[in-house]
């Protein structure tokens, strides 16, 4: 879940985007217009389970897409968001891709890709080694 502000209207509320998962781990991208930001920002929380109703479905055709799903959910003013307890929904879902595939991709603008790195920091010790 992330929010962003319009560069043209720095005084306006930010818009919000999020990726949601269903019980099978399928992901879909959701968008909340800045005019509806104040309605949903206090309700939505990462790691929580919600049921959504009364939203709009639209083609997921923007240049950089956070999911491979062909559709996206657009929140409306009267979209219903209900918190739910005790439903077995995964907290995260991953599609791992071999680095070679990413580097050789012809359509590098198709999906947002993140790289994970493991970093081990070893503090200096006062012992001397022979």
Residue-level pLDDT at 85: 82
Residue-level pLDDT at 80: 94
Question: What's the pTM?
Answer: 0.70
Decide: helix, strand or coil at residue 35: helix
Residue-level pLDDT at 48: 85
Q: What are the structural domains of the chain?
A: 2-92 (2.40.50.140)
Residue-level pLDDT at 54: 94
Q: How far apart are alpha carbons 6 and 11 in whole angstroms? A: 9
pLDDT tens-place values along the chain, 130 residues long: 888 876 666 667 888 999 888 877 788 899 999 999 999 999 998 888 888 999 999 998 887 778 888 899 999 999 999 988 867 777 777 777 777 776 776 555 555 555 445 455 555 555 544 4
């Amino acid at each position: 879940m992330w929010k962003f502000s319009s560069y043209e209207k720095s005084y306006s509320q930010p818009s919000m985007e999020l990726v949601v998962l269903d019980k099978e781990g399928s992901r879909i991208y959701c968008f909340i217009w800045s005019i509806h930001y104040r309605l949903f920002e206090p309700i939505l929380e990462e790691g929580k389970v919600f049921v959504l109703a009364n939203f709009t479905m639209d083609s997921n055709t923007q240049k950089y897409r956070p999911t491979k799903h062909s559709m996206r959910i657009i929140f409306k003013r009267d979209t219903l968001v209900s918190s739910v307890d005790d439903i077995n929904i995964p907290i995260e879902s991953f599609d791992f891709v071999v680095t070679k595939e990413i580097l050789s991709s012809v359509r590098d603008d198709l999906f947002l890709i993140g790289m994970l790195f493991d970093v081990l920091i070893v503090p200096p010790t006062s012992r001397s080694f022979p």
